[in-house]
Structure 1
């Protein structure tokens, strides 16, 4: 699964990634485990960035990533700054 490349100033949701992210959130809302979601997507042939299988840890990363909810978090020294990034929003909270 591709990550948003913020270092390259790409601050828009990727159209090829968005449907996969939505599916992950939908499966989780239906109560599926991380492992079950990964298995379902692997069985469906959902592509990953490197062409391998999805794992529960990958699914967890997607579910915890604030960018998919339209939030950007940056840390400067010790303080963190949280800003809205609607162009990255793929799912609602």
Structure 2
């Protein structure tokens, strides 16, 4: 059911760009999430929308699933650890952009 749920191209692009941004933030992230994380984030967003009774995925669905999907897929840099930043802190910073 979740796999068949449609997703707008702009929402899909947003999820892919969010995951890609974990690989471009070298000052805070030593190793970013792989491209497969995009698939997981999109599927989680679809599941969230479905559980909310909607037949479409919103940007809010993607944002709300970013922490549980991405937190174990990134490795903070030494600089992030020096600043006592957690994986969640880093992801929240990416979401604010």
TM-score, with length taken from structure 2: 0.28
TM-score, with length taken from structure 1: 0.29
Higher helix share: 2
Higher strand share: 1
